[in-house]
Amino acid sequence: MSGNGPDARPRDLATGESLPPASQPGYYPGFQTLSQRDFWDSATRRVVEERVRNVPRIRFFSPAEVPLMQCLCDHLLPQGDREPERRVPILNYLDERLAAGRIPGYRFEVMPPDGEAYRLGFQALDRMAWTARGSDFLGLDWDSQEALLKALHDAEPWPGAEDVWSRMPVHRWWALVMGDIAAAYYAHPWAWDEIGFGGPAYPRGYSRLAHGEAEPWEVDERRYVWVAPEGALSDPVESERVAHRGTPAQGQLGTH
Amino acid sequence: MPSLLKGPLGGAFPPSDSAVHRLGSMQTVDLQAMRRYWDDDLVDYVIVGVGSAGGVLCQRLARAGFRVVGLEAGPFWDTEKDWVSDEVGSHGLYWNDLRITGGSDPLTLGSNNSGRGVGGGSVHWASFTPRLHPSDFEVYTRDGVGVDWPISYADLKPYYELLELEMPVAGPAYFPWGDPHGYAFGPHPLGGVGNKLMEGCAALDIEVSAGGPVAILSGSRGDRPHCIYRGFCIQGCKVGAKASTLVTHVPDAIASGAEIRPHSMVSRVVVGSDGRVEGVNYLDRNGNEHHQRARAVIVSGYAIETPRLLLASACPGHENGLANSSGAVGRYLMAQVGNVVLGRFDEPVRMYKAPPAHALTEAFYETDPRNDFVRGYALQTVGPLPVAFANQMIAARGAWGWGLRRQMMDYNHWSPLGVLGEILPWEENRVTLASETDQWGLPVAHVSFNLHENDRRVSRAGTARAIEVLQAAGATETFSESRYAHLVGACRMGSDPATSVVDGFGRTWDVPNLFVCDGSVMPTQGSANPGLTIQALAARTADYLISQGETVFTSDRRDMTPPPVRRELSPPGTHRGVPRLANR
Q: In this predicted structure, what is the pLDDT of residue A236?
A: 74
Residues of A whose CB is below 8 A from B481? 249, 251
By the CB < 8 Å criterion, does B382 face chain A?
yes
- Cβ B502 vs Cβ B540: under 8 Å: no
A189 touches chain B (CB under 8 A): no
Does B393 touch chain A if contact means CB atoms closer than 8 Å? yes
Q: Report the C-alpha gap between B135 and B127 in whole angstroms.
A: 22
Assess contact for B446 and A109: CB atoms under 8 A. yes
Q: Which residue of B has its CA nearest to A47?
A: B89
Q: Residue B140 carries which side chain, given as an amino acid letter?
A: Y
Residue A60 lies in a domain: yes
Closest CA–CA distance from residue A248 to any residue of chain B (Å): 7
A-contacting residues in B 305-364 (Cβ below 8 Å):
338, 340, 347-350, 352-354, 356-357
Give Dmax (Cα) for chain A: 60
Return the biggest CA–CA distance within chain B.
77
- A212 contacts B347? CB cut-off 8 A: yes
d(CA B107, CA A104) in angstroms, rounded, equals 12
Inter-chain CB proximity A232 and B380 less than 8 Å? no
A90 lies in a domain? yes
Please identify among residues 113-152 of chain A the ones whose CB lies closer than 8 Å to any CB of chain B.
none
Residue-by-residue DSSP string for B67-84: -EEEE-SS----HHHH--
Residue of chain A nearest B197, judged by CA positions = A211
What is the count of residue pairs from A and B with beta carbons less than 8 Å apart? Answer: 330
Q: Tell if the CB–CB gap between B398 and A235 is shorter than 8 Å.
A: no
- Report the DSSP beta bridge partners of residue B381: B417
- Contact criterion met (CB below 8 Å) for B517 and B541: yes
DSSP state of B412: G
Q: Write phi, then psi, for B147 (nearest 5 degrees).
A: -155, 150
* Rounded CA separation A206/A211 (Å): 13
Contact call for A47 and B230, based on CB within 8 A: no
Residue A59 domain boundaries: 11-227
Would residue A249 count as lying in a domain?
no
Please tell me the distance from the alpha carbon of residue A39 to that of residue B491, in angstroms, as a whole number. Answer: 46
A209:B192 CB<8 A:
yes
What pLDDT is attached to residue B22? 58
pTM above 0.90, yes or no: yes
Q: For residue A58, give the 3-state DSSP assignment.
A: coil
Supply the pLDDT for residue B39.
86
Is the distance from CB of B475 to CB of B347 less than 8 angstroms? no
Domain count, chain A: 1
CA-CA distances (angstroms) from residue B22 to B19, B223, B379? 6, 11, 35
Model pLDDT for residues B378-388, shown as the tens digit of each residue? 999 999 999 99
Contact criterion met (CB below 8 Å) for B60 and B506: no
Q: Cα distance from A227 to chain B (closest Cα, Å)?
A: 9
Can you tell me whether residue B283 is helix, strand or coil? strand
**Fold type of domain B40-561:** FAD/NAD(P)-binding domain (3.50.50)
Q: Closest chain B residue to A194 measured between Cα atoms?
A: B409
Q: How far apart are CA B440 and CA B421, in angstroms?
A: 36
Contact B13 A38 (CB under 8 A): yes
**DSSP H or E segment with residue B464:** helix B453-472
Predicted local distance difference test score (pLDDT) of residue A247: 42
Q: Tell me whether A1 touches chain B (CB under 8 Å).
A: no
* Residues in B 75-114 with any Cβ partner in A closer than 8 A: 80-89, 91, 94-102, 104-114
Q: A219-255 burial, b for 16+ CB within 10 Å, e for fewer?
A: bebeeeebbbbeebbbbebeeebeebeeebbbbbbbb
B130 CB within 8 Å of a chain A CB: no
- Nearest-angstrom CA–CA distance, B218 and A209: 14
Tell me which residues of chain B have a pLDDT lower than 50: 1, 18-20
Interchain CB contact of B302 with A (< 8 Å): no
CB contact under 8 A, A197 and B385: yes
Q: Which neighbouring-strand residues pair with A244?
A: A247
Closest CA to B338 of B387, B412, B396, B292: B396
Residues in chain A, overall count: 256
The answer to whether residue A27 sits within a structural domain is yes
Of B85, B95, B447, nearest to A200 by CB-CB distance is B85
Cβ burial A134-161 (10 Å sphere, 16+ → b, else e): eeebeebebebbbebbbbbbbbebbebb
ipTM of the complex: 0.95
A236 contacts on B by Cβ (under 8 Å): 403, 406
Q: Do B400 and A255 touch (CB under 8 A)?
A: no
Pair A147, A133: CB distance under 8 Å: no
pLDDT tens digit sequence for B490-549: 999 999 999 999 999 999 999 999 999 999 999 999 999 999 999 999 999 999 999 999
CB B566 within 8 A of CB B574: no
d(Cα B113, Cα B431) in Å, to the nearest integer?
Answer: 15
The total number of residues written for chain B in this structure: 584
Please, are residues B189 and A209 in contact by the beta-carbon 8 Å criterion? Answer: yes
Eight-state DSSP code of residue A97:
H
- Which DSSP string do the residues of B96-141 spell out, in sequence order? -S--EEESSSPPP-STTT-B-STTGGGGT---B-PPPPGGGGBHHH
Is A11 near chain B, with CB under 8 Å? no
pLDDT of residue A3: 53
- Amino acid in position A218: E
Q: Which of B16, B230, B395 sits opposite A175 (nearest CB)?
A: B395
CB of A109 within 8 Å of a chain B CB? The answer is: yes
Establish if A225 touches chain B: CB-CB under 8 angstroms. Answer: no
Residues of B in contact with A211 (CB under 8 A): 192, 195, 347
**Distance, CA of A93 to CA of B574 (rounded, Å):** 46
Nearest to A205 among B230, B392, B403 (CB): B230
A209: closest CA of chain B, how far (Å): 5
- Option in B87, B194, B408 nearest A187 (CB): B87
- Are A237 and B350 within 8 A, CB to CB? no
Q: Provide CB contacts within 8 A for B28, sequence distance 6+.
A: none
A206 contacts B228? CB cut-off 8 A: yes
DSSP symbols for B330-387: T-S-EEEE--EEEEE-SS---TTSS-S--EEE-TT-S--TTSSSSS-EEEEE----HH
Is A159 part of the contact surface with chain B (CB cutoff 8 Å)?
no
**Spans of chain A, pLDDT less than 70:** 1-3, 237-256
